[in-house]
Amino acid sequence: MPFSPLKLSQPIKQALDKSGFTKPTPIQEKVIPLVLSGQDVLARAQTGSGKSASFVLPLLELWSQNIPEGKSKIKALVLTPTRELTIQVAQTFKTFGEFLSKQPKIVSVIGGESIGDQLYDIQQGCDVVVATSGRLIDILNKKQINLSKLEFFVLDEADKMLDLGFSEELDIILEALPDKRQNLLFSATYPPKMQEIASRITQDAIEITIEEERQTVDNIQQRAIEVNRENRGPLLRHLLTENDWELVLVFMANRRATDNIAAKFRKHGFKAESFHGSLDQEDRNDTLNAFKSRKIHILFATDIAARGLDIDNISCVVNFDLPRSPADYIHRIGRTARAGKSGVALSFVGHEDSDHFKLIEKRSDVKLEREEIEGFELMGDAPKKVKGKAPVKGKRKSKKDKAREKALKG
């Protein structure tokens, strides 16, 4: 189906054309009409499904049908779990609002950047605020933002906010919003805690489920390569030279390792950088932009920094260190093959993590042939498993226990 039945006006269609979007993704097909008709929506959708445009397009459409006169007042608030996602969503508003007769003012409210500039932009008047909750609450506490004219509240990737003491933050934010508003909630999963949050925010919401996880994974060629830990770096350099991958995202277990390995790869002539939560926001933005514009070809990243990254044309994702959970595995490999494209996901598996990878495969419902690359074959034996039961801590009676027993008996 093309975009035409979706009742979006000409300037928005023009921006869709410019972006090369010819037909809506399944989530856009379902969510856009619901938002336009004023419904609350609970959508179960992954990153990569096109969910950002599914709320940005109708919100721009509704805003443009009733452009407020005079100084802008905040009509829409979008909360996201990460700074990067906030910037991406704000950019999506700007991209699709480009041809409107008046463009909405969009402000990103995130930590790690000057609060003064953000306060200034808010006070100058803006139409849409895209925010991470911590910085938004700082600004709410300063009483420097007026959300009383708000009409739309969006929670994006809501399940990723759950672990951050989010429930209390949400209370503070909801307090600042008018009761009558339209609510849109996007989440990849719906654990009970999420349902509780959904019931606090939405009213008579229509639930939409997009089963895209399998489809996305189907476009990804998953490979498991056996290699000793110390050979992973040389193997990766070999693979990078042998293959024609344009952008490669390499996941590592910790920040220091990403810095060290990126420096090593640069010494070997690769255009590589590290990306993690300890970098300041400006560095994070610069690195991402350099990666997007292909000035850097290899990005060594930690899980936390890579959440919500939306970069097209990542040809290959490498699990240099395996992810901790099967959910993280799916999340990581989903960084490639976005929006229907294909991609490769490599996992380096050594003796130490062979059992862990089997568990990931089982839970993710895949079974991969183990490969070895000539010159980098897995050497040595797997560490022997200890047979029998491990001693149970605290099972032997202490002197005190014995004395107590004796006292009870006697």
**Considering only residues 31, 47, 86, 216, which one is a binding residue for ligand AMP as defined by CB under 6 A?**
47
User: Which C-beta is closer to ligand AMP: that of 44 or that of 51?
Assistant: 51
Q: Give the contact letters, 314-353, x = binds to ligand AMP (CB under 6 A), - = no.
A: ------------------------xx--------------
Shortest Å, Cβ 49 to ligand AMP: 5
Shortest Å, Cβ 312 to ligand AMP: 5
CB 108 within 8 A of CB 88: no
**Which range in 42-50, 217-225, 325-333, 365-373 contacts ligand AMP by CB under 6 A?**
42-50
Shortest Å, Cβ 48 to ligand AMP: 5
Cβ neighbours, 10 Å, residue 109: 29
Cα 110 to Cα 357: distance, rounded to the nearest angstrom: 36
Cα 61 to Cα 12: distance, rounded to the nearest angstrom: 7
Q: What share of the chain is helix, strand, coil (3-state, %, to 5)?
A: 45, 15, 40
User: Which C-beta is closer to ligand AMP: that of 75 or that of 338?
Assistant: 338
HEC profile of 262-319: HHHHHHCCCCEEEECCCCCHHHHHHHHHHHHCCCCCEEEECHHHHCCCCCCCEEEEEE
**Considering only residues 230, 242, 312, 381, which one is a binding residue for ligand AMP as defined by CB under 6 A?**
312
User: Which C-beta is closer to ligand AMP: that of 72 or that of 92?
Assistant: 92
Segment 53 to 72, residues that bind ligand AMP, using CB under 6 A: 53
Cα 184 to Cα 211: distance, rounded to the nearest angstrom: 18
Cβ neighbours, 10 Å, residue 240: 20
Cα 146 to Cα 26: distance, rounded to the nearest angstrom: 35
Cα–Cα separations (whole angstroms), residue 32 to 5, 52, 80, 208: 11, 11, 19, 11
Shortest Å, Cβ 98 to ligand AMP: 14
Shortest Å, Cβ 294 to ligand AMP: 16
**Considering only residues 12, 13, 24, 35, which one is a binding residue for ligand AMP as defined by CB under 6 A?**
24
Q: Comparing C-alpha atoms, which of 142, 152, 185, 149 is closest to residue 166? A: 185
User: Which C-beta is closer to ligand AMP: that of 53 or that of 184?
Assistant: 53
Shortest Å, Cβ 44 to ligand AMP: 13
Shortest Å, Cβ 198 to ligand AMP: 20
Shortest Å, Cβ 6 to ligand AMP: 11
Cβ neighbours, 10 Å, residue 211: 10
20-23, Cβ contacts within 8 angstroms, sequence gap of 24 or more: 21/53
Cα 285 to Cα 280: distance, rounded to the nearest angstrom: 9
Residue with token string 């005190």? 400
Q: Comparing C-alpha atoms, which of 172, 156, 151 is closest to residue 42? A: 156
Shortest Å, Cβ 28 to ligand AMP: 6
**Considering only residues 13, 30, 44, 51, which one is a binding residue for ligand AMP as defined by CB under 6 A?**
51
Tokens linked to 268:
């070997």
Rounded to an integer, what is the distance from CA 271 to the centroid of its chain? 24
**Which range in 43-51, 130-138, 175-183, 381-389 contacts ligand AMP by CB under 6 A?**
43-51
Shortest Å, Cβ 372 to ligand AMP: 35
User: Which C-beta is closer to ligand AMP: that of 33 or that of 233?
Assistant: 33
User: Which C-beta is closer to ligand AMP: that of 48 or that of 323?
Assistant: 48
25: contact with ligand AMP by CB under 6 A: yes
**Considering only residues 127, 151, 273, 310, which one is a binding residue for ligand AMP as defined by CB under 6 A?**
310
Q: Give the contact letters, 119-158, x = binds to ligand AMP (CB under 6 A), - = no.
A: ----------------------------------------
What residues line the site for ligand AMP (CB under 6 A)?
Answer: 21, 24-25, 28, 47-53, 310, 312, 338-339
